[in-house]
Chains A and B, each alone.
Chain A
Amino acid sequence: MKIFWFTERAYHDEDPVKLRELEDEVISSQSFWGTPNSRFDPKVGAKLLNQYLDEKIYTDEHLQEFDGVMLNEHHGNPFCLGAVMDVEAAILARTTKRLKIALIGNPIPVSGNPLRLAEELAMIDLISGGRLIPGWIRGAGCEQLSNNANPAFNREYFEEGHDLILQAWTRPGPFRFEGKHFHYRHVNPWVKPLQQPHPLIVTPGLVSPETAVWCAKRRYPYIALATFLEPTTQLWEIYAKAAAAEGYQAGPENFGYLQPIFVSRDQKYAEEMGKRFLYGGSFAHFARPEWMFPPGYNSKEATRRLAQAMANPNYPGKTLVTDKNDIEKARENIYANYEQNRSALQMIAGTPEHVIPRLKTVLNVLRTGIFTFWLDGPVPHEDRLECLRLLNSEVIPELRQHARKLGIVDPFEMAPGSRPLPAGGSYEAVSNKEAIVTY
């Protein structure tokens, strides 16, 4: 099992008044995306971005149980300062020595120039000595708006851009690439990945069946982003079925999971810090529906599902705050879900003794070869470091031992797609729904 950690790199002011004001704005507008950047203080941004890098360098040097770190990017919102993750990945490529650098992932449609992306990533792999794990995403709906990437062609950009990147890495140049959207009459990058023919590629998602099937066909590990356990097991089975159709048995090497966590010596303090994951309503309020799903971004079927959902008076995108005075009420409602989240293991917060059995439950259910701890929200730097140290010294060793007992292997031990189907051609289950425990 390979162990990573991840954070969105939240913007947060140490001044509690400013922090509160920003959260109020997010809650009242039900969206991080679109928050005016006049609230961005460059001094705070500079400090935070360096802290987030320092934590990863510290991990590389001192926290040997971690195999890697994960980065992502988002545009135009204060919960993720990583607007161009390849910049951070490039810095880490040079300043760290051993950590794998996983990108979950590069939003191909948003980047607009897949050949440049292929070159950036090849350089990161070269400089890091072959430690890059690239990943692809379509980008959130609002990010199409941020970058003026036509949402109606989002999936086409994604597919075509992905094909070009793979070709740029693996096909001898110069060659010509003339697709529907991307046109290059001279593809001949003079940087190619150190890992040949190309690095292991992963793809993150929020239990989209289409994406799982897409990954299974390409033998890319699918990384679920802290999704509820039961639907995640259903998705694993969709992946396994598609894998069987491709002629292989899926296994732990095909799956990854991000687990929201906070660990401290003090149970109450850990719970308090873990609560900050819900900052601003968490990702439920990343953006309003009209921004998350701009025209054409969804498939026809997904639009139909959304239409039905939006007709439901309890749809989460409905106005949360009708009156400025309701902000407190809305905030209470958001944070009132915390205990429920913890019961469903959507957040595991506590002492090492508290978190270990819960993490074992997640592994029992999902059996993933890639396991990522997700720390997030406006949590102070020192508390984050302490959390990472406790994970390293007390939690991960236990978890690794448990993974070995479960026979979990990672995609570096066994190439995804190399596991033969059992005799008879039917595939074996890849998850264990029966092991779900509500705490």
Chain B
Amino acid sequence: MDWTEDKMTFGDGNVLLRRAGSGAPLLILHEELGDLGPLRWQAELAGSRTVLHPYHPGFAKAPRVEWIASVRDLAGYYAGWLRNRSLAPIDVVGVSFGGWIAAEMMAADPALFRRVVLVSPLGIRPQPGEIFDLFQVKTPQYIAQSVASPASTEEYAGLVANAEAPEQFEAWEDAKAEVARLAWEPYMFNTSLPSLLGLSSMPMTLIVGGRQDGIVPVSALETYARAIGGAELLVYERCGHRPEIELRDRFVQDVKKFLA
């Protein structure tokens, strides 16, 4: 799959992104560590869709937008971009931190999306449980924590292969610093999000997670499912925080079916 780097003029600057495939556009919102590179699940979805994968401002590959001070601000930024480029309503897959952004976007304006896939989304306080603290561990430790079985996850090695390289260290630090700016306190959740999601009729939503998620306890996903009327919750057994690479075939199949 060939990915093309692209930029779209927006606001005072550009939305930087990579894109691939053809067909109806599909938005992917990346996770808290930034863009971990084109992974196979993305390529497989690009087989039938035009995948638009923006780089969040301030996450290593795109410059910071100073006024963005919260995940809700970032959601507002992307919402403005979708409207500005006449991309709404669009299908979206939000992964972890990207799932939180997508949820904030639809809470503010359900008309932005046609279908929504939230993959192990951050953004809601788990009860019971706690969200694993990204800011107290080295990044490779966080990645290890995010996968139930590194040995049987084909793409895991690729995620940490360059962990010792200065460029990789710096890119992760940039992404984490931006996450700190946006989500330091409360840590990785927004107390009003479940109530906001419950105020309006939401787009059709699929929530996917793993029973052995070491980052976000399943209880948070269950709260999401209760808050979003009609949402479907799939919790994979023997799977951690990254169903998209841990159980890729099943994940791609479920997402394709849902988006069809």
Per the 8 Å Cβ criterion, residues 100-155 of B in contact with A are 135-138
Q: Contact: B173 with A303, CB < 8 Å? A: yes
Interfacial chain B residues near A307, Cβ < 8 Å = 166-167, 169-170, 173
Q: Shortest CB–CB separation between residue A53 and chain B, in angstroms?
A: 33
Interfacial chain B residues near A148, Cβ < 8 Å = 184-185
Q: Contact: B138 with A152, CB < 8 Å? A: no
Report if A322 contacts B (CB, 8 A).
no
Interfacial chain B residues near A300, Cβ < 8 Å = 174
Interfacial chain A residues near B174, Cβ < 8 Å = 300, 303
Per the 8 Å Cβ criterion, residues 277-318 of A in contact with B are 289-291, 294-296, 298, 300, 303-304, 306-308, 310-311
Q: Contact: A150 with B177, CB < 8 Å? A: no
Q: Contact: A296 with B136, CB < 8 Å? A: no
- Knowing A148-B185, A290-B136 are in contact, say whether A295-B177 is a contact too (CB < 8 A): yes
A150 to B181, CA, bound (A): 7
Instruction: Tell me the nearest residue of chain A to B133, going by C-beta.
Output: A145
A296 to B181, CA, bound (A): 8
- Knowing A145-B136, A295-B176 are in contact, say whether A311-B185 is a contact too (CB < 8 A): no
Interfacial chain A residues near B178, Cβ < 8 Å = 152, 296
Given contacts A296-B180, A310-B166, 18 further A-B contacts (CB under 8 A): A145-B136, A148-B184, A148-B185, A150-B185, A151-B135, A152-B180, A289-B138, A290-B136, A290-B138, A295-B179, A296-B177, A303-B177, A304-B170, A307-B166, A307-B167, A310-B164, A311-B164, A311-B169
Interfacial chain A residues near B184, Cβ < 8 Å = 148, 150, 152
For B170, B176, B177, B179, which residue has the most chain A Cβ atoms within 10 angstroms?
Answer: B177
A303 to B173, CA, bound (A): 8
| Contact digits for A308-334, partner B, Cβ 8 Å, 1 yes 0 no | 101100000000000000000000000
| Contact digits for B156-195, partner A, Cβ 8 Å, 1 yes 0 no | 0000000011110110011011111100110000000000
Interfacial chain B residues near A306, Cβ < 8 Å = 169
Interfacial chain A residues near B137, Cβ < 8 Å = 290
Q: Contact: A150 with B180, CB < 8 Å? A: yes
Q: Contact: B173 with A295, CB < 8 Å? A: yes
A153 to B183, CA, bound (A): 12
Q: Shortest CB–CB separation between residue B76 and chain A, in angstroms?
A: 19
Q: Shortest CB–CB separation between residue A315 and chain B, in angstroms?
A: 10
A310 to B140, CA, bound (A): 14
Q: Contact: B136 with A291, CB < 8 Å? A: yes
Contact of B180 among A294, A303, A308 (CB under 8 A): A294
For B138, B179, B180, which residue has the most chain A Cβ atoms within 10 angstroms?
Answer: B180
A304 to B169, CA, bound (A): 9
- Knowing A294-B135, A295-B173, A303-B173 are in contact, say whether A153-B165 is a contact too (CB < 8 A): no
Per the 8 Å Cβ criterion, residues 124-176 of A in contact with B are 145, 148, 150-153
Interfacial chain B residues near A145, Cβ < 8 Å = 135-136
Q: Shortest CB–CB separation between residue A146 and chain B, in angstroms?
A: 11
Instruction: Tell me the nearest residue of chain B to A288, going by C-beta.
Output: B138
A-B contact pairs, 10 of them (CB 8 A): A145-B136, A151-B177, A152-B181, A153-B181, A295-B177, A296-B178, A304-B166, A307-B167, A307-B170, A310-B164
A89 to B169, CA, bound (A): 41
- Knowing A295-B135, A311-B165 are in contact, say whether A151-B170 is a contact too (CB < 8 A): no
A255 to B201, CA, bound (A): 65
